[in-house]
Structure 1
Amino acid sequence: MKNTIILNKIITTNNFNKIRLDKVLSILFSKYSRTVFKKSILNNNVYINNVLINSPRFKVKKGDFLKIKLIFETMDFFVPEKMYLDIIYEDKYLLVINKPSSLVVHPGFKNNNYTLLNGLLYYNKIFFKLPRAGIIHRLDKDTTGLIIIAKKMSSYFLLIKMMKKRKIIRKYKAVVLGKIKNGGFINAPIIRNKKKRTCMVVNQLGKNSITHYKILKNFNYSTLLKLRLETGRTHQIRVHMFYIRHPIVGDLKYKINYNYFCGLEQSKSFKFIKIFPRQALHAYKLIFSHPIKKKKIFLKINLPKDMENLLSIL
């Protein structure tokens, strides 16, 4: 099924002359993104003076009557499934959960059931009516930590827009291989790997991607880092750390040959690093302004037990 929102507006000023239609709509209805309106135009859901307009480049003029249909897929074809949700924050507009490892966020290839989305549908029927069940951003299956979920259409679009404008601060902790001497940032574009479609790779043809990192503690042959995402590409932290030859401990997708650490094979802690069952990556902090109440939301959680155990052994 589909959920439809109808927007109407009369242009009462000359301020929008010579400006693209998709941009005009994103200004007039600021809680929705320009991308949303561009899709609506291309899907034949925008009318001006009752005439269908299918070009985002169309220019409006004073006196034009705009009618826009925003159509979103509902979640009716997904099955609600009971699961424990570790809720860190909740009000009537949004909630934030602490995602455990081994939990896929959204159904996909080979992961049709027992995802976070299925759990949200069971938790509250309101998520059936929201795009992606209100999920604002994702974490990889084996990455733990904080995820924001909207509970209303209004907060959903505002949070999506905040995410695109980099107004939601996301911080992570990770244990990486090798000793890193200084903090810094990685500015390296990321694109999907043409040979391995489930992987991403640094490539100059990719999208702008920036990751900031700071050293929290050095160990013999690994480093505990604090990281902040400036952009939000798929697998961004994992790809960037692999790119600088310091992949995340336990990452089976982006890894280097352990012979790089030749001579350390007998160390107890190095043996534990080699068998750590997932990428040691945890989204531990979120900072953002509440999309409706406008108050500052500051959320911080501890590392999961497996990473705490890893650090104690190191």
Structure 2
Amino acid sequence: MTQTIELADEITEDLHGERLDKALAIIFPDYSRSQLKSWIEKGLVTVDDTPVTVAKTPVLVGQEVTVSAEVQDDGYFQAEDIPLKVIFEDEYLMIIDKPAGLTVHPGAGCRSGTLMNGILFRYPESRKLPRAGIVHRLDKDTSGLMVVAKTIPAVHRLVKMISRHDVVREYEAVVSGHMTAGGTVDEPIGRSSQNRIMMAVKPEGLGKEAVTHYRIMEKFRAHTRLRLRLETGRTHQIRVHMAHIRHPLVGDPLYAGKRSRQISGASEEFTRYVSTFPRQALHAVILEFEHPFTGEQMSFSSEISADIAELLAVLRKDTLEHPEDIVW
């Protein structure tokens, strides 16, 4: 059996002038260079919407590359009985409340135990769909709501709705630093030239448009609880944008930096708890959209995860113990 894959990314400045097959191997490390070269020669790879069949074709910064191909199901896409919290389901789509720690789909070094494996078990027909109907991602250690398509028409309509910003996605996050007002971060994002697993804010023209709106929900001594709304859905968008404005997410292993800020008067227990929080404090709390087939207005919410709720309780306790340090 085969599995349809759809891949897309943008050529960053560090890949400018590279061969197409080499650039794709760096951008999509889950697939071998020989496999990618084969797809190029079969016309399954496009550059700026134009098929390219010569693997040594040089690529240019800013070009959009896509791969649409099928791979053999050699165990890579096995169905597994993984518990999934499905809060809504009909013949077209389902809404899943994903826990932190669950990878969305298989990749290099993670061939099983993913959300995709669980979807294939729950709904075997999803094997016929691109990425088993997964139309958007959450990072492994981000918890909360996702929509998954159950038919090819649903895949196409949901992807189009997301690209047109017709799907409302709101998140809650706990960030470092005391923020005084909400705002908007409107900064392009692209792959980091220093670290291929990271994204970064890029100069105009060298990254994809990325817009994040945020407002304050709760203030603490040296942290802030935020509600964020995405206009776009770039990889690591919230994490990158918050780090860019010097308010990285608590626990973020990539963007928060290695040093935890020392807070005056904080107990050792508080400092240890916050500095060792095991994942980025980010939860997808709201998902709203018009049903792509019935036209019904759909709205789903998810309670903040237990670990973030505990983090908030720790921050509140510290704040109450040091009221003189709060600037409202």
Q: Same fold (TM over 0.5)?
A: yes
Identity %: 43
Per-residue deviation, residues 253-302 of structure 1 (Å, max 9, x unmatched): 10135454353553543332111111100001001010111100000110
Highest Rg: 1 or 2?
Answer: 1
Contact 1:75–1:128 under 8 Å retained in 2 = no
**SS of match in other structure, 1:145:** strand
| CA spacing shift, 1:230–1:75, aligned 2, 3 Å | farther
Show the counterpart of 1:104.
Answer: 103
Amino acid at match of 2:208: K
| CA spacing shift, 1:147–1:140, aligned 2, 3 Å | same
1:236 partnered with 2:253: no
Distance 1:55 1:241 in 2: 35
Amino acid at match of 1:153: I
Contact 1:100–1:144 under 8 Å retained in 2 = yes
Show the counterpart of 1:263.
Answer: 264
Contact 1:170–1:228 under 8 Å retained in 2 = yes
1:131 partnered with 2:130: yes
Show the counterpart of 1:283.
Answer: 284
Show the counterpart of 1:81.
Answer: 80
| CA spacing shift, 1:191–1:303, aligned 2, 3 Å | same
Contact 1:80–1:122 under 8 Å retained in 2 = yes
Show the counterpart of 1:220.
Answer: 221
Amino acid at match of 1:119: G
Distance 1:257 1:3 in 2: 39
Q: Which runs of 5+ in 2 are unaligned?
A: 5-38, 52-67, 316-328
Contact 2:260–2:275 under 8 Å retained in 1 = no
Contact 1:211–1:230 under 8 Å retained in 2 = yes
Amino acid at match of 2:121: Y
Q: Which runs of 5+ in 1 are unaligned?
A: 5-38, 45-53, 57-70
| CA spacing shift, 1:55–1:310, aligned 2, 3 Å | closer
Contact 1:75–1:127 under 8 Å retained in 2 = no
Per-residue deviation, residues 220-255 of structure 1 (Å, max 9, x unmatched): 110000000111000000001111110000111101
Q: CA deviation at 1:215?
A: 0.1
Contact 2:3–2:73 under 8 Å retained in 1 = no
**SS of match in other structure, 2:102:** coil
Q: CA deviation at 1:313?
A: 1.2
1:185 partnered with 2:184: yes
Show the counterpart of 2:207.
Answer: 206
Amino acid at match of 2:127: F
Show the counterpart of 2:161.
Answer: 162
Per-residue deviation, residues 65-91 of structure 1 (Å, max 9, x unmatched): xxxxxx863784411111100001100
Distance 2:272 2:296 in 1: 46
Distance 1:185 1:299 in 2: 24
What is the aligned-residue RMSD (CA, Å)? 2.4
Q: CA deviation at 1:94?
A: 0.2
**SS of match in other structure, 1:261:** coil
